[in-house]
Chains A and B, each alone.
Chain A
Amino acid sequence: MVTLVLPRLLDTAGTTRRSASMVERNVAALKSVYWLLLISGFVEPVLYLLSIGFGVGRLIDGIALPDGRVVEYAVFVAPAMLAASAMTGALAETTFNFFGKFKYQKLYDGIIATPVRPFEIALGELSWAMVRGSAYSAAFLAVMVTMGLTTGGRALLAFPAAVLTGFAFGSAGMALSTFMRSWQDFDLMASAQFTLFLFSGTFIPAEVYPAALRWLVEVTPLYRSVHLLRDVCVGGGGWWGLADVLYLLALTALGLTVASRRMVGLLYR
């Protein structure tokens, strides 16, 4: 344990550089086909916003926030789509792509022969996922400001919150991916992800669920992210936002720890 953790703490400069070299590798691997994938990740939440936020919003007079204010449905839905897009962007990179590099390309088997350690691979891959996730978040926030769904000032605050969301989902996804045996396992993950997307206070306030179910929903990471981003973009959540931030930070740390431990076990055979 000590031998695992101590050098990691002492050698932050080395860790930063080695993780950065992992990001550099991904930049070098970025080819034209990839751009199409990147664009699809941005377009998806915008379509949801247009179809459900504005489309369904037409049928609804407005929706009450916990603090009693009534806002347009699109205003209610937009921060949730921001959270969902941060989740999707991060997960795409740290689940599918990570698993492919790990199990099929055997990319990390080559990298561990260098001074780069599994923890640094994990951190580098997560950082790269966040470059992608942050781009989605920034673009979506720009759309929200343009459509008058939030203000410029709030959007500036929402950006780091969205990045944090990405970090939390990215590291949790990476940890889960180390347990995956084949591509089939990802179907389960996609189902779980879609369930989260539908029921995490995204389209319907969690307050409408029965108590037990509501409790279940409120401990899910996407609910906490939606809650945080809605707070920042629209307001009205009070100090609970701080709890959300702590929750997401803890999830990030847990995911990274599990992922790098698992990688040590799988790679250093």
Chain B
Amino acid sequence: MSKCLVVVGGHRYGRPVTSAAPLIRARGLVKRFGDFTAVDGIDVEVRPGEAFGFLGPNGAGKSSTMRMIGCISPPSGGELRILGMDPVRDGPAIRARLGVCPQLDNLDPELTVQENLTTYARYFGVPRSTARRRAAELLDFVQLTERADSRVEPLSGGMKRRLTIARALVNEPEIVLLDEPTTGLDPQARHLVWERLFRLKQQGVTLVLTTHYMDEAEQLCDRLVVMDGGRIVAEGSPRALIEQHSTREVLELRFAAESQEAFAGKLDGLGERVEVLPDRVLLYVTDGDAALAQVEARGLTPAAVLVRRSSLEDVFLHLTGRTLVD
């Protein structure tokens, strides 16, 4: 029973995902707060039907970018067009067609779960009866029907998040902006959110999300940009990024001795890159097993070994560094 598939934007069925005009287009986009430059001249294009991700550590400028796209933060410089319109001049008209799930839930604490949806729909001018019908459908979509008459405050973090996502859909938006949609959720809640977002994508809704979870980006995004210090440092599909910025496999070696450093010197010439961490050594290689054989041939006997495929996390850490940002 595919009861939920009709919930959002039924009219978008079968809309081809082509290289149509971009829904979001930024050129040299800048956001400054006083002396601080949060977004430092980025170029971005998001096409209809795609799931686009902004990946980056805290303070990379992801949220500032999202707020500008959401037309609630005027750009300090550069050019930004959303749905072909100017966010400063046409803010209300653009926002009418956007759905926004902000980083921090700002649900209405004085209203019930269901009222949060119906009231929000009214801000968009959705007729009352339509608002009620959509609220019921959306509560079903995010599995909160049983909590419809509950206040917001006693809900768990995952429930609040799902309600915020449902709220972002009451106006049947063409673009949904999700700022760290699963931060702070437990694994079950995260998977549920991912699954719902995936369904939205299947329905042709364009998703724009920020995250610092690599698995989230790999699961959801067709294309993404990696941001660091307000700039875009890499761009492409998750696969392309891995191919471009990392090797096919990673060989992780853990040596019994105190310092991994001593062993690292003996690994010269193996793989494209060696990275020494306090507790292990990473060898970026094409063939992990072959590399391991070579390591053993040099008479080294690591206490623990792991051969794994290269992930987006390797790319991310390579590009943005391992230093703690906040």
Q: What residue of chain A has the Cβ atom nearest to residue B126's Cβ?
A: A21
Query: Looking at A24, A106, A115, which has the most chain B CB atoms within 10 Å of its CB?
Result: A115
Decide: A105 near B122, CB < 8 A? Known: A3-B89, A14-B92, A112-B72. Answer: no
* Assembly CA distance A56 to B88 (angstroms): 59
Q: What residue of chain A has the Cβ atom nearest to residue B106's Cβ?
A: A110
Asked whether A17 is an interface residue with its Cβ less than 8 Å from the other chain, the reply is yes
Measured as residues with beta carbon below 8 angstroms from the partner, the interface class of chain B is: 20 to 34
User: Do B92 and A110 have beta carbons less than 8 Å apart?
Assistant: no
Contacts of A24 in B (CB 8 A): 119, 122
User: Do A29 and B124 have beta carbons less than 8 Å apart?
Assistant: no
Asked whether B268 is an interface residue with its Cβ less than 8 Å from the other chain, the reply is no
Decide: A21 near B110, CB < 8 A? Known: A28-B115, A117-B91. Answer: no
Asked whether A114 is an interface residue with its Cβ less than 8 Å from the other chain, the reply is yes
**Those of B94-128 within 8 Å (CB) of chain A:** 95-96, 98, 100, 102, 104, 106-111, 115, 118-120, 122-125
User: Do A113 and B108 have beta carbons less than 8 Å apart?
Assistant: no
Asked whether A109 is an interface residue with its Cβ less than 8 Å from the other chain, the reply is yes
User: Do A115 and B111 have beta carbons less than 8 Å apart?
Assistant: no
Asked whether B201 is an interface residue with its Cβ less than 8 Å from the other chain, the reply is no
User: Do A111 and B73 have beta carbons less than 8 Å apart?
Assistant: no
Decide: A113 near B102, CB < 8 A? Known: A21-B122, A25-B108, A31-B110. Answer: yes
Number of chain A residues close to chain B: CB under 8 A: 27
Q: What residue of chain A has the Cβ atom nearest to residue B119's Cβ?
A: A25
Chain A interface, DSSP helix/strand/loop, else mixed: helix
Contacts of A183 in B (CB 8 A): none
User: Do B91 and A113 have beta carbons less than 8 Å apart?
Assistant: no
Decide: A18 near B106, CB < 8 A? Known: A115-B92, A267-B72, A268-B74. Answer: no
Decide: A21 near B98, CB < 8 A? Known: A14-B92, A28-B119. Answer: no
Asked whether A190 is an interface residue with its Cβ less than 8 Å from the other chain, the reply is no
Asked whether A139 is an interface residue with its Cβ less than 8 Å from the other chain, the reply is no
A132 CB, min distance to chain B CBs, angstroms: 15
Q: What residue of chain A has the Cβ atom nearest to residue B99's Cβ?
A: A113
Say which residue of A109, A113, A267 sits within 8 Å of B95 (CB atoms).
A113
Say which residue of B115, B119, B120, B125 sits within 8 Å of A17 (CB atoms).
B125
Say which residue of A7, A106, A109, A115 sits within 8 Å of B124 (CB atoms).
A115
List 10 A–B pairs whose Cβ atoms lie within 8 Å, in order of A's numbering.
Answer: A21-B119, A106-B104, A106-B106, A107-B106, A107-B108, A114-B123, A116-B92, A268-B74, A269-B33, A269-B73
